[in-house]
A and B are shown apart, each in its own frame.
Chain A
Amino acid sequence: MGLLSLLLVVPAAGAAVVAVPARRRTVIKALALTFSAVTLVVALAVWTRVDFTTNDYQLVELYSWIPSLGVSFLLGVDAVSLFFVLMTAVLTPISILASWGGVRDGETAFFSILLFLEAAVIGAFLAVDVFLFYLFWLSVLVALVLLVGLWGGKRRRRASLALGVLTVGGSLLMLLVILVCHHTHFVQSGSPSFDTRHWEGLVLTPMAETWLFWGLFFAFAIQTPLFPFQFWLIGAAQESPAATRVFASTVVLKIGAYGLVRFAVPWFPRAAWTFAPAVMSLAVVSILVGAVTAALSIDSRKLAARVTVAHMGIVLLGIFCFTSEAVKSAVLIALSHGFFVGGLIVTAEMIRERTGSFRIQDYRGLGRIMPLGWVIAMLLVAGAAVIPAYYGFEIIRAAFERAPVQSAAAAVGLAVLAVAFVRFARVSLERREVREKKALRGRELLVLVPLVLLVLWMGIAPGRILRSLDAAAGAFISHVGDHVVLSE
């Protein structure tokens, strides 16, 4: 069994082991934490084996699975998928620790589904076979619907059904595109294949490519989530326990951005280039809507979700600039977003435990209630404000040449987003009578400190990550460039 298979087997096995009913709650949680920690170790081992000077898939594992349908169990890793896998592997044990005392009923099922979710997300990032990717993606959605629907707040049923209908609807759109591409490839090559590399050279009419591109784009846009599809995230963020919120807001939606980079653009490069300004427009609308609604938010859960919508809009803008620096900046923002938003969600949960509220207005005097917690929260807020702003302006600069209006609007959006963070910081600094201080507990420090360190690393010295993405970004741009030149 290769390392990549191990990355799937460990959390999946953990899900099966945790599912066995145990008497003591701490045993369930300890087991879940152990399996997620082992997954992180395996992910780090994969990191040491990847060669970042090439963009080819590495550590490729191919197993025959369903030859009757032309489906293989084909896994591979490159720079982009590796970093997303690492992000997932880091955030899973953190999510488990964050939910340590939060889930009181059905812990067995909850942590089992959470580990299954981790395996499915990692599988989606590692799948080279499109059928396999689709299968993992759908597994993620079903698991998320269950986590929100069964362990959420009062309106959990509505939130989970909205999440399910929107995201599964998007996945069915992808299914349609997969079926057409598979048939087209079979007709053109004579052999059935779901290998995504084989679909990068499909000969399509402009009309067909246009329809297929937009179909796939919207399938992933719902997942990202782009405006006006963000409602599933807002609802899920409000109704879910901390672990689910962390996963939904930081890990799951990255599959949308990843899908655009891995499938939509490589399969339909001409359409991607042609419609890039339109996509940028949609991205900018997301940035503006996310930023304005974030600035007006009174609930910290909705604030985090709306900030996410804005940030993912920036990521999308960066991807469709089709310059190496913009694409690398987009990936960096996507990765760092996982950590600072994850940290903010966990911090909000800790604040709620102390103040009884998610309302931002009730965060007054936070510095006096939990001084160290406040410092950590401010560092995370700074990361959330500075990293997307700094690299976002890199993206805006790259976008200006092709889409100046969208570029200017995006800059306005970034400015408005800063207002949201400043407001948050200002409220927390307001004076307030405090009866007793409630310092951070050991478990809480264990969750927050790594996140803060990762955010600081990505903000101050992201050079290693950016250099690691050179080959991948270069190949991505070259692929589009080659097809655009050919068609001209």
Chain B
Amino acid sequence: MPVEAAVLVPALILLVTGALLIVARRVSRPYLAAWIGVIGSVMACLRLWEYRLSAGGWVESDPVGQFLGLLILVGVALTLPIARAVSARGGSTDARTSTDYGIVLVAAAGMLLAVSTRNLLVLFAAIEIVSYALSHLSDRDKLRRYLLASTSILVGVALFRVASGSFDMAAIEAALVTRDSGIGLLPVLALGLVVVGFFMKLVPPLLRLGAVGVPVALAAEVALFGALLRMRGWLLVLEDAFAAVLLAVALVSMFVGNLKALRRNDLQGVLSSSFLMHIGLLALGVAAGGEKGRAAVIFYLFALVVMGLGAWSAAIGIGSSAKGGWKGRGWSQPFSAVAMSFLILSMAGAPLTMGFVGRFFIMSLSVPANHLGLVAVVLLNLLVCFYYYMKVVLGLFAETLPMDDVAVKLGRGLTVAVVVCTVVVLVAGVWPEPCLSLVKQVAMGFF
């Protein structure tokens, strides 16, 4: 099978299953159907190993794309029990539930395309699919920002075409390198528009999506950074511009995320806002560049998906009753609270957790790049991050439980998700070498 077709198969499986769930609406077991789609896609992704390092037209099949594709599917797999639990508690209709599952799968199809393509136009289309899906899952869609971001990306892509005569990353690089007059301002402008546009598309939704939307958005960040890694890997002639844009984005993301998290009092609000802080760290890793930068980003993406979705699942489990809040629930729901506390502490960079190792890996790359001042600013942001995460942990256990508190059952799906995530974070924190070796091997296999 040609590599282009092979790369499309996982996305196609998700697309077909998702379309079925959206169109048919009254599928008798939408949850099972969604899982079949995900498992089918995982198996197709694993088959891509045969095409280890292959390119064909607008796609590339390499270990980075394959690993990130699997990570996206892990994120989607963790999203499904969350969506199920939320719909059960919210009393959603079967039609609405089926549609939501379908939207999640269609979004995942777009994500898989985004990490495999090196054609900017196809990348734009893939990101559009993802962001459109996210906007459906949001109750407070901001059309203005959506249009602005789309325009920014499209104009950037068009400028690349003008500057190089192509939408293909490899061709763009070749054209810019051989230019007699130097790179010029146009490609730099194009890069800035595209990168900022991508961030505007996929990062702010974390702040306004609900219980189901945020996990999907987190998986979308894997797609975003997969695409950025590929662009960074190909457009070497724009290395400095790339680093500058990403550093700026990193700082903005961290500041905004921390400010928002400090102002939120609800559990999910603090978590979703704090994800922006981690996205800023990831941007730092992409800015560092090279094989090590790639490995650091892949490791931290893995950590973020597992920590973030595990904590999110536990937060769903803790929830809040109509009368009480989440504070003090640590003693009445110890399993969810302890797991969430552990995962949150990992996100805060507590030792013997995956978050600590990932954070150290990324920070260690910023010093050789002579970004010492930036590192100091980042550390300050990490301190703020630690503060509001500790507030959450103390709020769970140090506050008094409301008298009328009713314990909420986590459910089997969420329980499994939380347990798996906690174990992965702990094992990869205490014994990170196998995981680090794996991501280094993956990072080496890149076009």
Seen from chain A, the residues whose Cβ lies within 8 Å of a Cβ on chain B are: 65-69, 106, 131, 134-136, 138-139, 142, 145-146, 149-150, 156-157, 160-161, 164-165, 168-169, 172-173, 175-176, 179-180, 182-183
Contacts and interface: CB of A to CB of B under 8 A. Distances in A.
Contact of A138 (B351, B387, B390): B351
B48 to A, nearest CB: 25
A12 to B, nearest CB: 10
A135 B390 CA distance: 18
A309 to B, nearest CB: 23
B427 to A, nearest CB: 13
B363 to A, nearest CB: 6
Nearest to A158: B394
B433 A68 contact: yes
B390 A176 contact: no
Contact of A157 (B356, B368, B398): B398
B361 A139 contact: no
B58 interface: no
Nearest to A173: B379
Contact of A69 (B372, B390, B397, B436): B436
Contact of A164 (B368, B372, B387): B387
A136 B351 contact: yes
B367 A180 contact: yes
Interface in B374-424: 375-376, 379-380, 382-383, 386-387, 390-391, 393-394, 397-398
Contacts of A106: 331
Question: On chain B, which size bracket covers the interface?
Answer: 35 or more
Given A106-B331, A139-B351, 17 more contacts: A68-B432, A138-B349, A139-B350, A142-B350, A149-B397, A161-B387, A161-B390, A161-B391, A161-B394, A164-B390, A165-B383, A168-B386, A172-B382, A172-B383, A175-B363, A175-B379, A176-B375
B49 interface: no
Given A68-B437, A135-B356, A150-B398, A183 B351 contact: no
Contacts of B368: 183
Nearest to B345: A142
B364 interface: yes
The prevalent SS among residues of A at the interface is helix
Nearest to B330: A150
B440 A172 contact: no
A65 B379 CA distance: 25
Nearest to A116: B352
A156 to B, nearest CB: 6
Contact of A150 (B352, B397, B440): B397
A165 B387 contact: yes
Nearest to B391: A161
14 contacts: A131-B360, A138-B350, A142-B350, A142-B351, A157-B398, A160-B390, A160-B394, A161-B391, A165-B386, A172-B383, A175-B363, A182-B364, A183-B364, A183-B368
Contacts of A180: 367, 372
Nearest to B299: A68
Nearest to B360: A69
A91 to B, nearest CB: 22
Interface of B: 331, 345, 349-352, 356-357, 360-361, 363-364, 366-368, 372, 375-376, 379-380, 382-383, 386-387, 390-391, 393-394, 397-398, 432-433, 436-437, 440
A449 to B, nearest CB: 35
Contacts of B390: 145, 149, 160-161, 164
Contacts of B394: 149-150, 157, 160-161
Contacts of B360: 69, 131, 175
Nearest to B372: A180
A204 to B, nearest CB: 14
A67 B431 CA distance: 11
A318 B308 CA distance: 47
Contacts of A131: 360
Nearest to B375: A176
A122 B433 CA distance: 24
A175 B368 CA distance: 14
B433 A65 contact: yes
A169 B383 contact: yes
A135 B122 CA distance: 44
B436 A68 contact: yes
Contacts of B380: 172
B328 to A, nearest CB: 12
Contact of B367 (A138, A156, A169, A179): A179
Nearest to B395: A157
Contacts of A173: 379
A182 B365 CA distance: 11
Contacts of B436: 66, 68-69
Contacts of A69: 357, 360-361, 364, 436
Most buried by B among A134, A150, A179: A179
B361 A176 contact: no
Contacts of A156: 398
A113 to B, nearest CB: 12
Contacts of B391: 157, 161
Contacts of A164: 386-387, 390
Nearest to B361: A69
Contact of A68 (B352, B382, B440): B440
Given A161-B394, A179-B375, A67 B386 contact: no
Contacts of A183: 364, 367-368
Nearest to B368: A183
B296 to A, nearest CB: 10
Contacts of B352: 135, 139
B192 to A, nearest CB: 29
A149 B350 contact: no
Nearest to B350: A142
A182 B363 CA distance: 12
B372 to A, nearest CB: 7
B354 to A, nearest CB: 12
A28 to B, nearest CB: 16
A172 B387 CA distance: 13
Contacts of A135: 351-352, 356
Nearest to B383: A169
A140 to B, nearest CB: 9
Contacts of A66: 357, 432-433, 436
A93 to B, nearest CB: 25
B438 to A, nearest CB: 10
A67 B375 CA distance: 24
A442 to B, nearest CB: 33
A69 B358 CA distance: 11
A182 B375 CA distance: 15
Contacts of B345: 142
Contacts of A67: 433
Most buried by A among B351, B366, B375, B437: B351
A198 to B, nearest CB: 16
B185 to A, nearest CB: 33
A456 to B, nearest CB: 38
A284 to B, nearest CB: 29
Contacts of A136: 351
A168 B379 contact: no
Contacts of A65: 433
The 9 A-B residue pairs with the shortest CB-CB distance, nearest first, are A68-B436, A135-B351, A172-B379, A179-B367, A149-B394, A138-B351, A183-B367, A139-B351, A150-B397
A138 B437 CA distance: 25
Contacts of A165: 383, 386-387
A149 B386 CA distance: 14
